[in-house]
């Protein structure tokens, strides 16, 4: 290696040795060392310890049930098949709902609240023991960086089980002055961006309140839900209390339309949410919808700029931007627009895109080819409508589905990229001059899920957030979650809340 003697070895923040790029580490003729470009060594998470079957049947009535059709789930970072999973037909959905009804009538509605709590605690503790295995599988099946599944998805999912286990025998405190009772069978449908976490948001409060469950995973990410089924077996939950199935939109529709599902909890797109609302209208089903978003992240000129830059990066590039509450519309005060764009361009260069199982990866792969096509189509519209594009110049792996971290400046409110949910690593930057203009622009959306406000004035934070129409608002931070804190939307982002004491409301009558 052509490095001067005594040259210090560099260590990354996670303790890895940084390897010098030997192409650029050469001595010039005058003996001076050329500028060294330091590269991270690969640090691939060990996946040998994970246990996956090659084929997953449906988990119904505490048993693994075969069906007629199976489909493949792939790893989007290399397009390799990980396993086959069962496709639940209408007949299978019927079996699952009947199993849940039987479990509700015979067992779950009869046992004490304290017993219910114990089972949920048991699920939480087993999940905690298996957290590493779950994190690896979540990253393999969905493409998200291992550092995110390890530090966000899995810990938050099990924290929700712990949290709601605690509520099971305290419902009279959650609903003072009210005598509540469970509803019956809850039908639950979840998306692919946070599979285990979305399942925890739904299953834990449903069980705590005394309901039984039929839950369907998204087509591209069924695996951690079937691993959860194994945890449920290990926890010896009475059979049929939680039924886990996989399939496609038709499977979801069969859950919604089944006469015995008394409550529907849906997280997914606004388009499908509207369809479900129509289908449940006129029935006595309880409904909660957690839908899309187009959050405004507002940066005032007095904001701590470097912290805000990190908040912008976290807001839009976390989980490849596959986040319903992503800070996808950046509203920057005009006086600081140039410095914010300059710093963002610089920061984009250091985002590491690549293997989701590499602990140094910041941005993983796009979840599916369908999602990649949607991102590309919307980015093209941004260019055609006249916005200015900036993209990371990082190299991308040969196989798999990838999209460079991207942002657009000079975005007008009429542009599609300012209105439609891109659900990818693409940020749209708009500007404002006064606080009133910021609020008007932030609220100028069909959605109302989340928002961010960055300023060093506490009074400005309170004044702004009181006028924003969004379910969750972060100030001087972004994308922070806690099981005790309710989450949900306004307008076309849906209704009902998940998380916190509020999350219990949907599961009682």
Residue reference for tokens 């509450």:
325
Distances in Å between the alpha carbon of 10 and those of 24, 38, 61?
A: 16, 8, 55
Work out whether 361 is an interface residue with Mg ion (CB under 5 A): no
Per CB under 5 A, which of residues 199..238 are in contact with Mg ion?
220
Rule CB under 6 A: say whether 293 interacts with ligand NAP. yes
To ligand NAP, the closest distance from the beta carbon of 103 in angstroms equals 23
The interface region with ligand NAP, picked from 20-28, 106-114, 246-254, 501-509 by CB under 6 A, is 246-254
Closer CB to ligand NAP, residue 354 or residue 494? 494
| 305, 336 Cβ separation under 8 angstroms | yes
In the complex, minimum distance from the CB of residue 220 to ligand NAP, in angstroms, rounded to a whole number: 7
Candidates 26-34, 228-236, 306-314, 489-497 — which segment interacts with ligand NAP by CB under 6 A? 489-497
Q: How many residues bind Mg ion (CB under 5 A)?
A: 3
Among Mg ion, ligand NAP, none, the one that 219 touches (CB under a kind-dependent 5 to 8 A) is ligand NAP
Q: Does 309 bind ligand NAP (CB under 6 A)?
A: no
Among 85, 186, 208, 218, binds ligand NAP (CB under 6 A): 218
96: left (phi over 0), alpha (psi -120 to 50) or beta: alpha
Minimum separation from the CB atom of position 135 to Mg ion (A): 15
- CB of 258 vs ligand NAP, minimal distance in Å: 11
Quick one: what does residue 141 bind among Mg ion, ligand NAP, none, with the CB cut-off 5 to 8 Å set by partner type? Answer: Mg ion
Tell me the C-alpha distance between 155 and 146, whole Å.
Answer: 13
In the complex, the smallest distance separating the C-beta of residue 69 from Mg ion, rounded to whole angstroms, is 17
- Per the listing, tokens 């997953």 go with 56
Question: Contact between 73 and ligand NAP (CB under 6 A)?
Answer: no
Pick 272 or 430: Cβ nearer ligand NAP? 272
- Report the DSSP beta bridge partners of residue 430: 331
Pick left, alpha or beta for residue 201 (phi over 0 → left; psi -120 to 50 → alpha; otherwise beta): alpha
Binding of residue 73 to Mg ion (CB under 5 A): yes
Smallest separation, CB 304 to ligand NAP (Å)? 29
What is the closest distance, in whole angstroms, from the C-beta atom of residue 109 to ligand NAP in the complex?
A: 26
Catalytic residue list contains 394:
no
Active-site option among 219, 324, 325, 420:
324
Q: Which of 292, 321, 327, 354 binds ligand NAP (CB under 6 A)?
A: 292
Contacts of 509 (CB under 8 A, 6+ apart): 180, 181, 182, 183, 286
Q: At closest approach, how far in Å is the CB of 449 from ligand NAP? A: 6
Q: Is 74 a residue that touches ligand NAP (CB under 6 A)?
A: no
324 binds, among ligand NAP, Mg ion, none (CB under 5 to 8 A by kind): ligand NAP
Per-residue DSSP letter, 419: H
Specify the stretch interacting with ligand NAP by CB under 6 A; choose among 32-40, 85-93, 151-159, 213-221: 213-221
Give 44-48's long-range contacts (Cβ < 8 A, gap of 24+).
44/355, 44/357, 44/358, 44/359, 45/135, 45/136, 45/139, 45/146, 45/150, 45/357, 45/358, 45/359, 46/136, 47/136, 47/140, 47/357
In the complex, minimum distance from the CB of residue 227 to Mg ion, in angstroms, rounded to a whole number = 13
Contact 150, 140 (CB under 8 A): no
Catalytic site includes residue 209: no
Angstrom distance (rounded) from CA 325 to CA 451: 8
Cβ atoms 276, 264 nearer than 8 A = yes
Task: Give the phi and the psi of residue 224 in degrees, each rounded to 5.
Answer: -70, -25
Give the residue closest to ligand NAP by C-beta: 252
Residue 290 near ligand NAP by CB under 6 A: yes
User: Binding segment for Mg ion among 137-145, 163-171, 180-188, 350-358 (CB under 5 A)?
Assistant: 137-145
Catalytic member of 45, 138, 290, 505: 290
H/E stretch holding 234 reads helix 223-234
Answer for the pair 129, 154: CB distance below 8 angstroms, yes or no: no
Considering CB distances under 5 to 8 angstroms, the limit depending on partner class, which of ligand NAP, Mg ion, none binds residue 239?
A: none
CA distances from 87 to 84, 161, 299, 363 (A): 9, 27, 46, 30
252 Cβ partners below 8 Å, 6+ apart? Answer: 189, 216, 266, 272
Q: Determine the interface stretch with ligand NAP among 140-148, 156-164, 177-185, 247-255 (rule: CB under 6 A).
A: 247-255
* Cα–Cα distance for residue pair 484/495, rounded to 1 Å: 18
Q: Does 252 bind ligand NAP (CB under 6 A)?
A: yes
- Tell me: does residue 138 bind Mg ion (CB under 5 A): no
Q: What's CA 324's distance to the chain center, in Å? A: 7
The closest of 219, 265, 273 to 88, measured between CA atoms, is 219
Residue 73, binding choice from ligand NAP, Mg ion, none, Cβ under 5 to 8 Å by partner class? Mg ion
Q: Is 141 in the site for Mg ion (CB under 5 A)?
A: yes
Q: Is 143 in the site for ligand NAP (CB under 6 A)?
A: no
Report d(CA 504, CA 498) in Å as an integer: 8
Task: Give the footprint of ligand NAP on this chain (CB under 6 A).
Answer: 189-193, 216, 218-219, 248-249, 252-253, 256, 267-269, 272, 275-276, 290-293, 324, 421, 423, 449, 489, 493-494
User: Which residues are known to be catalytic?
Assistant: 290, 324
Task: Give the footprint of Mg ion on this chain (CB under 5 A).
Answer: 73, 141, 220
């Amino acid at each position: 290696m052509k490095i001067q003697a005594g040259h210090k070895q560099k260590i990354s923040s996670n303790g890895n040795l940084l390897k010098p790029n030997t192409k650029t580490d050469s001595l010039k003729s005058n003996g001076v060392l050329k500028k060294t470009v330091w590269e991270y060594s690969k640090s691939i998470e060990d996946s040998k310890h994970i246990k996956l079957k090659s084929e997953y049947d449906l988990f119904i009535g505490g048993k693994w049930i075969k069906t007629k059709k199976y489909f493949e789930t792939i790893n989007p970072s290399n397009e390799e098949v990980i396993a086959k999973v069962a496709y639940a037909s209408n007949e299978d959905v019927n079996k699952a709902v009947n199993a849940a009804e039987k479990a509700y009538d015979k067992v779950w509605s009869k046992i004490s609240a304290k017993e219910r709590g114990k089972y949920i605690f048991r699920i939480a503790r087993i999940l905690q023991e298996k957290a590493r295995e779950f994190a690896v599988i979540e990253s393999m099946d969905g493409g998200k960086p291992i550092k995110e599944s390890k530090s966000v998805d899995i810990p938050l999912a099990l924290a929700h089980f712990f949290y709601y286990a605690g509520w099971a025998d305290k419902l009279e405190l959650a609903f003072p002055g009210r005598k509540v009772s469970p509803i019956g069978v809850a039908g639950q449908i979840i998306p692919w961006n946070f599979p285990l976490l979305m399942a925890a948001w739904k299953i834990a409060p449903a069980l705590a309140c005394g309901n039984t469950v039929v839950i369907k995973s998204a087509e591209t990410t069924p695996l951690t839900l079937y691993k959860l089924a194994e945890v449920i077996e290990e926890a010896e939950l009475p059979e049929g209390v939680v039924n886990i199935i996989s399939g496609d939109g038709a499977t979801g529709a069969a859950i919604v339309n089944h006469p015995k599902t008394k409550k529907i909890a849906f997280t997914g797109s606004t388009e499908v949410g509207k369809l479900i609302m129509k289908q449940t209208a006129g029935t006595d089903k309880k409904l909660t919808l957690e839908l899309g978003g187009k959050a405004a992240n507002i940066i005032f000129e007095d904001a701590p700029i470097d912290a805000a830059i990190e908040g912008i990066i976290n807001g839009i590039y976390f989980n490849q931007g596959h986040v319903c509450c992503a800070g996808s519309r950046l509203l920057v005060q005009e006086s600081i627009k140039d410095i914010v764009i300059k710093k963002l361009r610089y920061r984009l260069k250091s985002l590491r895109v690549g293997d989701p199982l590499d602990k140094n990866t910041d941005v993983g792969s796009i979840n599916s080819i369908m999602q990649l096509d949607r991102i590309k189509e919307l980015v093209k519209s941004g260019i055609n409508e006249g916005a200015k594009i900036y993209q990371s110049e990082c190299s991308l792996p040969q196989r798999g589905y990838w999209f460079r971290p991207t942002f657009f400046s000079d975005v007008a409110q009429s542009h599609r990229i300012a209105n439609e949910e891109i659900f990818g690593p693409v940020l749209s930057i708009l500007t404002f001059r006064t606080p009133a203009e910021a609020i008007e622009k932030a609220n100028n959306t069909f959605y109302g899920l989340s928002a961010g406000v960055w300023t060093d004035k506490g009074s400005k934070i309170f004044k702004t957030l009181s006028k924003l129409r969004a379910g969750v608002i972060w100030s001087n931070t972004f994308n922070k979650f806690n099981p005790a804190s309710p989450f949900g939307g306004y307008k076309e982002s849906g209704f009902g809340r998940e998380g916190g004491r509020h999350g219990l409301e949907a599961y009682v009558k």
